Amino acid sequence: MSDVPSHISLAGKTALVTGGASGIGLAVAAYFRQLGASVLVADLADTAPAGFESAYERGDVCSESDVIRMVERAAHEGRLDIAVCCAGIADQLVPTVEQDIETWQRVLDVSLRGTYLVCREAGQRMLPRASGALVTIASVTALGGFPRRNAYGASKAGVAHMTKSLACEWGGSGVRVNCIAPGYIATPMVEQVLERGRLDGRRITERTPMRRLGQPAEIASAAAFLASDWASFVTGAVLPVDGGWSAFGGSGDVATS
């Protein structure tokens, strides 16, 4: 264990964070930079987030050419050490019989197709060097059935499964692939859904053992662990960061079960 660092550091690492203009992605990018990584943020937003004006690439993860451009720019002298796939969009949150296929397909394209393209392109840079770490973002909706969430849940279940498959395929080549399954996190996307009344914030917190929403920084710290040398023997993991949501098996809310 002598080669394990005394603290988590990403110094000297190059990293790409997709979906990095806000929410979880921005928290990941900011924390990785704090830990010493050279970070490129990629997103569809027209404006770069504060502090990343010179390290921002606008693009759509659903576009193969855009992803190739993102990865090429993120790689320093052809080397890419870390990629974190945070790009995602919310689904309709309406009964299945009222959902339209175009919206359903867009949700799958952003989360699943986008993650696949980023992993594929990043893997092309990492495999020849026999080194690299990929972190994908799934959801607790990937771990169980969520009514009216079949687009989002299916896309995130696909991400979790693909993570395990890539970990098995690339593990012998020195490239690690892990997944985080967040619970309900206080991101702009979740807050907008709560404000529109599509989700009940009170019921969510009552159902969560830790009795609150998570914070983007709490996902960022988990991503930093998985991307760092501290997780050197961790690959193919799907790590719930959900305040105990996926562990709870009682009926009703936590306090009365």
State the residue for tokens 């080194």: 131
Residues 30 and 51 sit within 8 Å (Cβ to Cβ): yes
At residue 237, what are phi and psi to the nearest 5 degrees? -85, 145
User: Looking at beta carbons, which pairs linking 188-191 to residues 24 or more positions away fall under 8 Å?
Assistant: 188/22, 188/23, 189/23, 189/88, 189/89, 189/90
- Three-state secondary-structure class, residue 100: coil
DSSP conformation class of 48: P
Residue 152 among the catalytic residues: yes
Q: What span, in angstroms and rounded, lies between the C-alpha atoms of 257 and 252? A: 6
Of the residues 31, 56, 116, 152, which is catalytic? Answer: 152
User: Looking at beta carbons, which pairs linking 124-130 to residues 24 or more positions away fall under 8 Å?
Assistant: 124/71, 125/71, 125/75, 125/78, 125/79, 125/80, 126/80, 126/81, 126/170, 126/174, 126/175, 127/170, 127/173, 127/175, 129/79, 129/174, 130/173, 130/174, 130/175
So which residues are the catalytic ones? 152
